[in-house]
């Protein structure tokens, strides 16, 4: 009777109330204790279920909590001595998992009262996936029976990652994990847990707010230990290890109804930056990390000092809201990284620093690194709120940077958008170091740095501005973003050094710079201003003070420069090296899109000052110049005319305005007045025609009024006035007046130095001119011979001189002349003259011609028409062509070798017993010498010249080669003695000419040789030719008219194409 009572049931089916589910049992074995039954304890001693299938419906889900605690469901099993279940199956309609092959064995522990040994194993199935699991341990109920206690070890093999209870933001693609976990429950209702999760071949994505990141791990191991108390799961220690990283942390998860919350804290040792990027929770934090920070970094190692995520479930699901900023935080450190690799000047090596994200505020601090010679000592970046619509980090940098890198960085960050951006196109930094501290805001949308404050210290910084090398030896730059920049330092150019200081606003729209020192003006102008047409050179370093002022699109440059040794050159003028007393002040004004403007330039010298201003437009190459001076001494000033240089000296007073196209001087326009005194123009050190000039000029556009000009030409004072027009081709009229002029002096000087002296006027200024001129000489002379008045009119045309009319009106002589002197297109000359004299003293002519000893006296009456034509003046004599009638009356032959030789011969022949009384020391008297002569090709020829004297008469014919100085003539002499008296003397060697009424004795001589001392040869009777006899007979015995009509010769000249002088109608008709 006292043996256990065993009951076996088959195919048991149990249906729960209210349709909550059902239980089917294939075999049920229950064992009861008889003693218990006697005491009305109806619970079996042991219970076994074979093939049990438990099905739970959805209705039970809603009433699960009302059925009681966990003890309610398993407490009864723990009271049994033994419970076993084999081949069981549990299905719950609201859970997608099914438990199959369920094996359960619960037996009361004999060693520890109140504990039962538990073994559970089987498979968890979902779809086609199946996971084997085991649960082993001890479990019991507290005395109150409310909560089970004990320890259990759970093992799950190869659980699909998708089975884990993950937030909806995490989407699993693949992966499995082995789970081992221990649960230990105390009687105080706390549950301690520990275990490991070994994940393999994991791939999943996290997606939030439209941002997605995929994570993939070949291996991921999690070890943890914690407890579950009062509906809070707390894991104070867990370690998550993967390939190349290890995370340690603390995790809490609240399960109380109405208060679901989670807290996560993480730390890690250093890991590679690449691995850090792979595990970084990009979708959870601000996109600034993945879009701005991470792409600029590479290499190195990163350590997570602290990462936390805490807050209610609703808060964690909406971390993108600023109100949940306190729910997430991050602190990391890095070392050995590279920033902006291969992107100078930004790249940094050995980069270190820390990053902190708290309450939505992001800060990067203690950043250090280096790039070549550039070293970042301490830099920081702060974003007040990562939730702001635009993230503009505040940056602070304390560094030493290579000057070339700093210049490129400054240009790209903030100068590229300033008004100085174009300036850096011509700037190249070469070397140097700059220490600086900079603070400001970075605008990612504009890729621009807005500097709030900065301090720069420059040391031996070399740069090139265009072709000008500059070394900034020492310098300090202070910047305040809202105010601007201040600079102070010293720099050097080639052979120059000076101190500079300046300021500018933040955008360089307004700026000011001041420099003082010694430098080369040429290099200074090239460095500070645009290229201008005026070239400045100087071998010395001159002292100067210069300032630059910029206001938006306007740039003003002022300078005071010493001109000692400085020369200035332009296409129109130049100035030689100045002395120590000369100073130049100038102010340039440059406006964007407007012409270059020289507001003012003042040239101070020892003897006065000159003030000027100019505007130059590169677009149309137009220049406007204003020049004024009350009194200025010109010394070393050169004019560029026709490619030649002419030095000018003198005193100038002017007030003028000049406009022109720089490359077309024919467009020059001049306005104003100019007065000058003592002006002398030199070429190659020799004065030109312009010597000691004084003038008063009035300019009106292309016109020039020459109010008056007084100049010295070959020592002759000349007054000039007139009106001219046009600079490319001068036209107009000038009037030239001289009170007295010695023409002989002018011709002699012209022969010696006229070509070089006149080249400035004739060869350059008049090359394209067409100027009519009138010359008026009140008292002209030729040596000591008074020529009376001289008037002339003509034209200078394209480098050629045309004399249309020239008249000389002397008391005994009148001359009318016309001709030209050409250089274009080929050199040539021509002149024609009509000369008429009445009782002109011959001795004056001889003296005027420069013959020291007078050999002939008398009064000359003549008429002549001559011309000459050729290519050079050396052809003047050979080009002579003309004819003359002349009479010399009541004169004396002072000295004549021919006359002496003839008289000596007659004395030997006893025609004169002694020298005739008229042949005294004072000369041989004659009543007249008359004749006609013509010149052709430089040969003077006469067919008949007659001399009458009280002693004898003479006739001659022949020619004189003026070019060679040779004479060839036949001479006949008729003594005034009777033939009867001669017949008484012996012998008679003359020739007796017989006529109708008389007979004459004539002696025949040949004159040959040099004009100055020809050979005179008597020709005997027997050798006298018939032509000579006829010549003597016609002249001595037959009265003839020897003068010819020059009118016919004039007609002959006209037919030859040689123009006649303007007074040709005055030629006498004989």
Q: What is the pLDDT of residue 722?
A: 93
CA separation, residue 993 to residues 950, 1000, 1030 (Å)? 20, 5, 10
Task: Return d(Cα 568, Cα 566) in angstroms, integer.
Answer: 7
Q: What is the pLDDT of residue 772?
A: 93
Q: What is the mean pLDDT of residues 401-420?
A: 66
296 confidence band (pLDDT: 50, 70, 90)? confident
Q: How many helices (H) and strands (E) does the chain have?
A: 14, 59
Assess whether pLDDT exceeds 50 at residue 915.
no
Assess whether pLDDT exceeds 60 at residue 548.
yes
665 confidence band (pLDDT: 50, 70, 90)? low
Coil, strand or helix: which one is 525? helix
| pLDDT averaged over every residue in the chain | 81
Q: What is the mean pLDDT of residues 633-661?
A: 82
Statement: the pTM of the whole predicted model exceeds 0.85: no
Half-sphere exposure of 154 (CA within 13 A, CB side): 15
| Highest averaged pLDDT of the listed ranges 324-333, 429-438, 465-474, 510-519 | 324-333
528 confidence band (pLDDT: 50, 70, 90)? low
Q: What is the pLDDT of residue 992?
A: 52
Task: Return d(Cα 705, Cα 923) in angstroms, integer.
Answer: 59
Both tokens of 179, joined, read 């789970």
Q: Residue with structure tokens 């429950």?
A: 185
* Local structure of residue 1069 (DSSP, 8 states): -
Q: Give the other-Cβ count within 10 Å of 906's Cβ.
A: 21
990-1007 tens-digit pLDDT? 455 555 445 567 788 889
Task: Return d(Cα 568, Cα 612) in angstroms, integer.
Answer: 14
Task: Return d(Cα 190, Cα 636) in angstroms, integer.
Answer: 111
Q: What is the mean pLDDT of residues 445-474?
A: 81
922-950 tens-digit pLDDT? 678 889 998 899 999 889 998 888 888 88
- Rounded percentage of the chain residues whose pLDDT exceeds 90: 24
Assess whether pLDDT exceeds 50 at residue 1067.
no
755-781 tens-digit pLDDT? 444 444 444 555 678 899 999 999 988
Strands 361-371 and 328-339 come out as unpaired
970 confidence band (pLDDT: 50, 70, 90)? confident
255-269 tens-digit pLDDT? 766 678 889 999 999
Half-sphere exposure of 833 (CA within 13 A, CB side): 17
Task: Return d(Cα 298, Cα 287) in angstroms, integer.
Answer: 18
Region label for 377, one of left (φ > 0), alpha (ψ between -120 and 50) or beta (otherwise): alpha
Contacts of residue 769, Cβ cutoff 8 Å, sequence gap at least 6:
729, 730, 731, 796, 797, 798, 799
Assess whether pLDDT exceeds 50 at residue 989.
no
Q: What is the pLDDT of residue 27?
A: 95
- Rounded percentage of the chain residues whose pLDDT exceeds 70: 84
Q: What is the mean pLDDT of residues 910-926?
A: 58
Q: Is 611 exposed, middle or buried (0-12, 13-18, 19+ CB in 10 A)?
A: middle
54 confidence band (pLDDT: 50, 70, 90)? very high
Task: Return d(Cα 405, Cα 412) in angstroms, integer.
Answer: 11
Q: What is the pLDDT of residue 517?
A: 86
Give the distance, in angstroms, between the CA of residue 793 and the centroid of all CA atoms in the same chain: 55
945-966 tens-digit pLDDT? 888 888 888 888 899 998 888 9
Q: What is the mean pLDDT of residues 464-491?
A: 84
Q: What is the pLDDT of residue 751?
A: 47
Q: Is 922 exposed, middle or buried (0-12, 13-18, 19+ CB in 10 A)?
A: exposed
Q: What is the pLDDT of residue 61?
A: 67
1065 confidence band (pLDDT: 50, 70, 90)? very low
The mean-pLDDT minimum among 217-231, 842-856, 893-907 falls in 893-907
CA separation, residue 258 to residues 62, 253, 380 (Å)? 17, 13, 43
Q: What is the pLDDT of residue 292?
A: 81
């Amino acid at each position: 009777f006292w043996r256990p009572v065993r009951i076996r049931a088959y195919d048991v089916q149990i249906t729960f109330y209210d349709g909550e589910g059902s239980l089917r049992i294939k075999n049920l074995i229950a064992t009861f204790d008889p003693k218990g039954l006697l005491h009305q304890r109806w619970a079996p001693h042991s219970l076994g279920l074979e093939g049990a299938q438990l099905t739970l419906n959805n209705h039970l889900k809603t009433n699960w909590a009302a059925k009681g605690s966990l003890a309610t469901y398993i407490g009864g099993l723990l009271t049994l001595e033994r419970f076993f279940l084999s081949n069981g199956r549990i299905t719950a309609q609201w859970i997608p998992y099914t438990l199959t092959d369920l094996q359960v064995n619960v037996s009361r522990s004999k060693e520890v009262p109140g504990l039962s040994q538990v073994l559970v194993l089987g498979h968890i199935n979902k779809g086609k996936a199946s996971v084997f699991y085991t649960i082993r341990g001890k479990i019991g109920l507290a005395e109150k029976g409310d909560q089970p206690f004990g320890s259990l070890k759970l093992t799950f093999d190869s659980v699909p990652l998708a089975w884990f209870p993950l937030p909806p933001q995490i989407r699993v693609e693949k992966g499995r994990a082995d789970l081992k976990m221990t649960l230990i429950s105390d009687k105080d209702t706390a549950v301690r847990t520990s275990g490991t999760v070994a994940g393999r071949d994991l791939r999943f994505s996290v997606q939030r707010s439209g941002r997605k990141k995929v994570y993939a791990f070949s291996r991921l191991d999690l070890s943890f230990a914690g407890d579950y108390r009062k509906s809070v799961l707390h894991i104070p220690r867990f370690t998550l290890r993967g390939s190349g990283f290890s995370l340690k942390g603390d995790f809490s998860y609240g399960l109380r109804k109405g208060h679901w919350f989670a807290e996560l804290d993480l730390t890690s040792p250093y890991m590679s930056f690449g691995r850090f990027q792979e595990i970084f929770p990009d979708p959870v934090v601000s996109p600034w990390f993945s879009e701005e920070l991470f792409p600029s970094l590479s290499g190195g190692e990163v350590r997570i000092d602290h990462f936390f995520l805490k807050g209610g479930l609703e808060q964690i699901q909406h971390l993108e809201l600023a109100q949940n900023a306190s729910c997430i935080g991050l602190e990391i450190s890095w070392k050995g990284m590279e920033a902006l690799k291969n992107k100078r000047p930004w790249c940094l090596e050995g980069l270190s620093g820390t990053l902190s994200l708290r309450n939505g505020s992001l800060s990067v601090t203690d950043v250090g690194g280096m790039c070549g010679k550039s070293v970042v000592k301490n830099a920081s970046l702060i974003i007040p709120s990562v939730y702001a619509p635009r993230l503009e980090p505040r940056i602070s940098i304390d560094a030493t940077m290579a000057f070339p890198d700093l210049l490129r960085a400054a240009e790209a960050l903030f100068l590229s958008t300033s008004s100085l951006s174009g300036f850096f196109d011509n700037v190249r930094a070469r070397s140097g170091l700059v220490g600086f501290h900079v603070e400001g805001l970075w605008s990612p949308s504009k890729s621009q740095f807005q500097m709030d404050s900065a301090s720069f210290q420059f040391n031996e910084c070399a740069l090139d501005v265009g072709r000008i090398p500059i070394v900034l030896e020492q310098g300090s730059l202070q910047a305040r973003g809202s105010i601007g920049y201040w600079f102070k330092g010293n720099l050097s150019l080639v052979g120059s050094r000076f101190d500079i200081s300046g300021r500018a606003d933040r955008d360089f729209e307004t700026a000011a710079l001041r420099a003082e020192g010694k430098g080369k003006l040429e290099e200074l102008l090239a460095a500070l201003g645009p290229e201008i047409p005026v070239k400045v050179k100087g071998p010395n370093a001159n002292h100067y003070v210069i300032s630059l002022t910029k206001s938006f699109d306007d740039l003003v440059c002022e300078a005071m420069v010493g001109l000692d040794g400085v020369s200035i050159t332009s296409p129109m003028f130049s100035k030689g090296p100045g002395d120590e007393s000369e100073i130049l002040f100038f102010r340039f004004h440059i406006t964007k899109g407007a012409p270059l403007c020289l507001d003012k330039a003042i040239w101070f010298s020892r003897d006065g000052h000159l003030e000027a201003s100019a505007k130059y437009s590169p677009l149309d190459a137009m220049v406007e110049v204003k020049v004024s001076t009350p009194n200025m001494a010109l010394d070393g000033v050169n004019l560029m005319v026709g490619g030649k240089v002419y030095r000018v000296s003198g005193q100038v007073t002017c007030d003028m305005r000049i406009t022109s196209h720089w490359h077309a001087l024919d467009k020059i326009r001049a306005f104003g007045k100019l007065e000058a005194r003592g002006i002398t123009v030199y070429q190659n050190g020799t004065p030109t025609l312009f010597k000691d000039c004084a003038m008063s000029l009035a300019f009106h556009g292309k016109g020039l009024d020459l109010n008056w000009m007084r100049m010295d030409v070959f020592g002759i004072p000349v007054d000039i006035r007139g009106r001219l027009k046009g600079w490319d081709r001068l036209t107009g009229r000038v009037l030239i007046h001289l009170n007295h002029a010695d023409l002989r002096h002018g011709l002699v000087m012209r022969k010696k130095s006229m070509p070089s002296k006149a080249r400035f006027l004739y060869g350059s200024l008049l090359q394209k001119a067409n100027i009519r001129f009138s010359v008026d000489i009140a008292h002209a002379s030729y040596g000591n011979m008074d020529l009376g008045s001289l008037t002339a009119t003509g034209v200078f045309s394209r480098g050629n001189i045309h004399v249309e009319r020239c008249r000389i009106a002397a008391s005994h002589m009148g001359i009318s002349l016309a001709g030209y002197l050409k250089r274009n297109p080929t050199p040539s000359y021509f002149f024609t003259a009509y000369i008429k004299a009445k009782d002109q003293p011959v001795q004056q002519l001889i003296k005027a011609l420069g013959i020291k000893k007078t050999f002939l006296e008398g009064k000359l009456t003549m008429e002549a028409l001559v011309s000459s034509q050729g290519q050079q003046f050396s052809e003047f004599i050979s080009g002579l062509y003309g004819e003359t009638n002349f009479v010399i009356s009541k004169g004396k032959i002072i000295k004549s070798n021919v006359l002496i030789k003839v008289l000596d011969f007659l004395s030997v022949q006893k025609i004169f017993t002694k020298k005739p009384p008229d042949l005294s020391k004072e000369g041989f008297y004659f009543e007249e010498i008359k004749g006609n002569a013509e010149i052709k090709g430089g040969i003077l020829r006469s067919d008949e010249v007659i001399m009458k004297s009280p002693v004898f008469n003479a006739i001659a014919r022949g020619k004189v080669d003026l070019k060679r100085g040779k004479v060839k003539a036949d001479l006949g002499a008729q003594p005034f003695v009777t033939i009867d008296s001669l017949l008484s003397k012996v012998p008679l060697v003359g020739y007796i000419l017989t006529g109708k009424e008389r007979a004459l004795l004539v002696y025949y001589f040949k004159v040959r040789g040099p004009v100055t001392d020809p050979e005179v040869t008597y020709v005997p009777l027997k050798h006298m030719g018939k032509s000579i006899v006829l010549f003597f007979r016609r002249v001595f015995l037959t009265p003839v008219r020897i003068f010819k009509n020059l009118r016919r010769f004039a007609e002959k000249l006209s037919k030859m194409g040689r123009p006649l002088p303007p007074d040709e109608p005055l030629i006498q008709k004989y």
